[in-house]
Structures are given as structure tokens and as C-alpha cells.
Amino acid sequence: MSGFFKSSIGRKVAMALSAFFLMFFLLQHFAINMLSVFSPDTFNEVSHFMGTNPLVQFALQPVLIFGVVFHFVMGFILELKNKKANGVNYAKNNGAANSSWMSRNMIWSGVAILAFVVLHFIDFWFPEINTKFIQGDWSGTMDGVEGFRYYEELVHKFSNPARVVAYVIAFVFLALHLMHGFTSAFQSMGSTAGRKQTLQNIGKAYSIIIPLGFVVIALYHFFNH
């Protein structure tokens, strides 16, 4: 297994697999959060189920955190390996002629997304961990709020214009990152032969619709709080 990760192909395949996992999670996360726009009660119920289900909390959540950390670490490793492999010629190559802007700047869009993930953890995940695992409150309720607290917390976070702007910028970077990453992940798995254009179209649709949907959610709660 160690030899697998030491090879260039092995690292790219591992990167692709982690990307597929995170894209699936992103789709699921988007679907749940979109409920907050159409049905706050349903959003509360689904959020409470996800937040108290033992399988989600003690099995899937650690896997997700590992997947996030692994993807970013592997991304930085691949970037360093690529620069080292290109050596002096790296500076002489005409990058604009050989690759897209997005492919040449995946590391920077990745850094922006990583900063956003940290902000998102501070906004939602850390308070949730504190409430459930430190305070021992798994009720999902809050004083002064009828029903579960998740919708109220979401609306409160997006009442801050600075936070909304930060989220919107982060989702723009996410769209750029996905534009290249979606197709690249399939290429690493050897799945583009004869289907490249179709996969590119699917990737473009995913890369635009999902980040745009998150932007809509943030703006909706900001203007309707």
C-alpha cells in the first residue's frame, strides 16, 4: 500500500477517489441545506436526524473529516511533486498554452476553499461539537425557540453581511476548483475515453449548479432574516 501512494499514478487515483467522495458529500449537504429555503420544519427534522444518528456521528463523520484532510494534503503533495518534477523547465513552459487557468491555479483555489472550510467549522461544526459532546445536550432545542434550533442558527449566521460575502467568494472559488477537478478526477481513473465531452458537460453543470445553489441559500437567508 505504501508503494501505491509513492507512485505518481497511485497518488492521482487516491486524489480522484477522495474527490468523488467529497463531491458526493457536497451534493448531499446541498440537498439538506436547500430544505431551509423551502421547508424550515423539514430542514430542522433532517438536521436533527443527521446530528443525532449514531452511524452518522461516530462512523460517517470521522470518515468525512479524514476525507477532507486527505484530499487537501494529497493536493499539496501532488503540487509539490509536479513542481519538483518539472524543475527548471517549469519556469520556461508557457502555461497558458499548455493548460487552462483553472488547472494551473488549483492549489490557490484549494487554499481558498480550505480557509472557507475552517470558517465553516468555526461557524457550525465546533459549536455543534461543543453542544453535544461537551455540554451533553443532544436535544436539538434552544431556549426561546419553538422546535429544533438548526434553522434559527442558520438564519443567525447569515444575518452578518461580512460572513455572507465571505461565503459567496468561497463558493466562486469552489466552482472554479470543481470545473477542473471534476474532469481531472475521471481522467485519473481512466474513465474519459470516448466520453470526455459528456463528462465535461456534466462537470460544468455540477460545478455551476451546486456552488450557485449554496450562494442562493446564503443570500436568501440574508435578505429574509
Q: What is the pLDDT of residue 91?
A: 46
* Assigned domain for 68 exists: yes
* Assigned domain for 180 exists: yes
* Assigned domain for 91 exists: no
* Assigned domain for 97 exists: no
* Assigned domain for 92 exists: no
Domain count for the chain? 1
Q: What is the pLDDT of residue 126?
A: 95
* Assigned domain for 76 exists: yes
SS3 content of the chain, % helix, strand, coil (to 5): 85, 0, 15
Considering only CA atoms, which of 196, 191, 123 is closest in space to residue 153? Answer: 123
Query: Can you give the CATH number for the domain in which 159 is found?
Result: 1.20.1300
* pTM for this model (two decimals): 0.86
For the chain, 225 residues long, give each residue's pLDDT as a single digit of tens. 555 556 777 788 888 889 999 999 999 999 999 999 999 999 999 999 999 999 999 999 999 999 999 999 988 888 888 777 765 444 444 444 446 666 677 788 888 999 999 999 999 999 999 999 999 999 999 988 889 999 999 999 999 999 999 999 999 999 999 988 887 777 777 665 567 778 778 888 999 999 999 999 999 999 997
* Helices 161-188 & 8-38 angle (0-180, nearest 10): 140
215/167 Cα distance (integer angstroms): 7
* Assigned domain for 22 exists: yes
For residue 13, give its domain range.
2-85+104-224
- 102-144 pLDDT, tens digit per residue, is 667 778 888 899 999 999 999 999 999 999 999 999 999 998 8
Q: What is the pLDDT of residue 101?
A: 63
* Assigned domain for 95 exists: no
Beta-carbon count within 10 A of 152 CB: 16
CB 180 within 8 A of CB 23: no
